[in-house]
Amino acid sequence: MLCDVNSPSSELIETATRAIRRGQIVLHPTDTLYGLACDPMNPEALDRLFALKGRSPTKGVLLMVPNLTYCEDICDDIPEVFYEMAEALWPGPVTVLLGGKSSLPDALLGSEGKVGLRQPDLPFLQLWMEAIPGAIVSTSANLSGQSSPGSLEELRQLLSAEVDLLLEGEEIDPKRQASTVVDLTLDPPELVRSGQWADRVQAFL
């Protein structure tokens, strides 16, 4: 299904929202790389997502969030630097690791009890989360340990048969990086992965 990421149709948002509510896996564009999405509170959907990627549940997954309030609802001991970074860098390609509440599914927390959060800068994703309403799991659209596909055609060949809904946005830019990841559970915070806006994140470290 074609996806206009800047001005998505109501039909597309409804279709994508219905898929998440049904526990399905959605392959979708983001403001960084293509992602695989599911309902973060659906254990069966999470298990299927990990199996599809060949990824260990101990590694946890990224949550795309609609707003700061959602972060406060699912995280404990949020440091002040989070609010400073969010004000300056969200929405955008920056993922933060915070301590997740013990009530969250184990697959979201990984072995260290941390949850990765990012507010994306893309109208389609924001409208989708508002419609659900809530966050979505969105992990990179690749197999664990392998690089992300360099084109939409490669992506289709790799994953189209494995997902329930494929949303095709713009052609993949092979030069586009993943989000930068910073661990805010540590003092001082630590850069975990250097990606888009890494230089801006460094200003807070």
CATH of the domain at 160: 3.90.870.10
- Residues in the chain, overall count: 205
CA angle 1, 33, 54 (to 5 degrees): 90
Q: What is the model's pLDDT at position 198?
A: 96
pLDDT of 147 strictly over 90: no
- Given the DSSP bridges, would you call strands 180-183 and 94-100 parallel, antiparallel or unpaired? parallel
Q: Let me know if residue 196 belongs to a domain.
A: no
Domain span at residue 117?
Answer: 10-177
Q: What letter would DSSP give residue 15?
A: H
Tell me how many domains the chain contains. Answer: 1
pLDDT of 141 strictly over 90: yes
pTM, two decimal places: 0.94
Q: Let me know if residue 188 belongs to a domain.
A: no
Average pLDDT, the chain: 94
Q: What is the model's pLDDT at position 65?
A: 97
Backbone angles phi, psi at 124, to 5 degrees: -55, -50
Question: Per residue in 91-127, pLDDT tens?
Answer: 999 999 999 999 998 889 988 999 999 999 999 999 9
Residue 57: pLDDT band (50, 70, 90) is confident
Backbone angles phi, psi at 175, to 5 degrees: -90, -10
The span from the CA of 3 to the CA of 26, in Å, is 12
Tell me the HSE value of 177 on the side-chain side, using a 13 A CA sphere: 13
pLDDT of 194 strictly over 90: yes
Q: Let me know if residue 31 belongs to a domain.
A: yes
Q: Going by C-beta distance under 8 Å and a sequence separation of 6 or more, which residues neighbour residue 79?
A: 184, 187, 189
The span from the CA of 45 to the CA of 23, in Å, is 5
Q: What is the model's pLDDT at position 148?
A: 87
Cβ proximity of 142 and 157 under 8 Å = no
Q: Which whole number is the average pLDDT over 57-75?
A: 93
Q: Let me know if residue 189 belongs to a domain.
A: no
Q: Let me know if residue 156 belongs to a domain.
A: yes
